[in-house]
Amino acid sequence: MKAELISIGDELLIGQVINTNVSYLSRKLGEIGIAVGQITTVGDEPKAIAKTFKRAWKEHDIVIVTGGLGPTHDDISKASVAKFFKKPLVLHPATLRAVKERFKKFGYAKMPESNVGQAMVPKGFTVLRNQAGTAPGLLFFERKKAFVILPGVPREMQWITEDSLLNLLKKKFAAKSRGVIQHRTLITTGIGESSLAELLGPVESILEEDSTLAFLPNVPLLRLRISANGKTGREVINKIARIEKSIRAIAGKYIIGVDDDTLEGIVSKLLSDSKKTLSLAESCTGGMLASKITALPGASKIFLGGVVSYDNSVKIGLLGVPEGVIEKFGAVSEEAALAMAMGIREETKSDYAISITGIAGPTGGSQDKPVGTVWIAITDDSGSQAFHYQFGGDRQLIRERASIAALELLRKKLLGSL
């Protein structure tokens, strides 16, 4: 039993919007034992939509369409579905009331007329309420199959999925779902894809029946995904545990986390477990590292604060970097990085402090210090160290790599291996 996800929208075909809906839906469906077999994107074009509906409905047991449910004229999914299933569109009074109430709640005197269309549904379809917007989801069971339409706005699509859709699909397909699929991802750093593959040797020596191993590089991290299926959850979990053990026995020293772990999450947990605090002085990354760390709930336990010292006057004024250091060595130098880290640590009294100063480009580089030159310093009670990097890539990638390098330094420091 497999599902196909269909996304509708010219904005996806011209590359204006990145399709995050399908990764969300794939994850959620996976959690209830439904595997996605194909993802298809087509434009706002009735013929292409009809053809795709026909093929997908033939090939898969579950079809979930996102997009094209809004109130404006370019939203045509619902009409396409009504036509495909030969159902007339009928008014759904409860939805009309909900849409009107929503407009009232947000202070509109009256609902724009075009929103009446939101309450028209193909006859016989189940309406999935949407309290995050005005367009409801729609569900149709036919024999052993399910056809679903959801709005394309991620927040609304997610609201409906979690409010009703997953439960309805689970109930319908629980009995049919043959076996269990599970995944486990090991996150490694410090080794390349082919070197790790060579180190691990032939995958047959690691894997068991009905299991696979995938390498997912995303420099500087390389993820290793173990997938396995079997009859019961217990069987699959045990199988994955044995495979993970084999991998760890060979390449354990490169593994820094699992599944959805992020470097900032790993470092934050190390800080939190050891009841230590951090402060930051960021120049070229401009707050990116602080933003990553504070994106995690509970960041206030380990993160005191930081200075984004973009202009030299801020390095001098708020961080106490001696003017002479900047004059003599430049703002991107070992000396400036060390002074920045020590400055923010002294100011905040944090246990650890990190500074990042560099040239993110596209301009500002020189022969001696080309674009991509970055100095990162780390300081604590035991002393201070600074590290030089030369990153490739564009401005955004250099900033990203500098943030990741700083986290990796702190991780090593916290593990006593720096």
User: Which x/- pattern, by CB under 8 A, does the window 266-295 give for a copy of itself?
Assistant: -------------xx-x-xxxxxxxx-xxx
Query: Of the candidates 345, 337, 330, 347, which has an alpha carbon nearest to the alpha carbon of residue 405?
Result: 337
Cα(159)–Cα(165) distance, integer angstroms:
9
Does residue number 166 form part of the binding site for a copy of itself (CB under 8 A)? no
Applying CB under 8 A, among 232, 274, 366, 396 the residue interacting with a copy of itself is: 396
If binding means CB under 8 A, how many residues of this protein chain bind a copy of itself? 110
Alpha helices in 187-333 (DSSP H): 193-200, 233-251, 263-273, 288-294, 312-317, 323-329
Give whichever of 126 and 185 is closer to a copy of itself, judged by the CB atom.
185
Q: Which of residues 75-134 bind a copy of itself (CB under 8 A)?
A: 75, 106, 108, 111-115, 134
Cα(77)–Cα(114) distance, integer angstroms:
16
Does residue number 193 form part of the binding site for a copy of itself (CB under 8 A)? yes
Cα(33)–Cα(182) distance, integer angstroms:
9
Give whichever of 87 and 318 is closer to a copy of itself, judged by the CB atom.
318
Does residue number 262 form part of the binding site for a copy of itself (CB under 8 A)? no
User: How close are the terminal C-alpha atoms of the chain, in Å?
Assistant: 50
Does residue number 214 form part of the binding site for a copy of itself (CB under 8 A)? yes
Give whichever of 127 and 308 is closer to a copy of itself, judged by the CB atom.
308
Give whichever of 73 and 86 is closer to a copy of itself, judged by the CB atom.
73
Give whichever of 127 and 132 is closer to a copy of itself, judged by the CB atom.
132
Does residue number 241 form part of the binding site for a copy of itself (CB under 8 A)? no
For residue 303, list its beta bridge partners.
278
Give whichever of 287 and 322 is closer to a copy of itself, judged by the CB atom.
287
CA 66 from centre of chain = 19
Query: Of the candidates 177, 98, 106, which has an alpha carbon nearest to the alpha carbon of residue 137?
Result: 98
The number of beta carbons lying within 10 Å of the beta carbon of residue 54 is 11
Q: Write down the least CB distance from residue 408 to a copy of itself, Å.
A: 17
Does residue number 300 form part of the binding site for a copy of itself (CB under 8 A)? yes
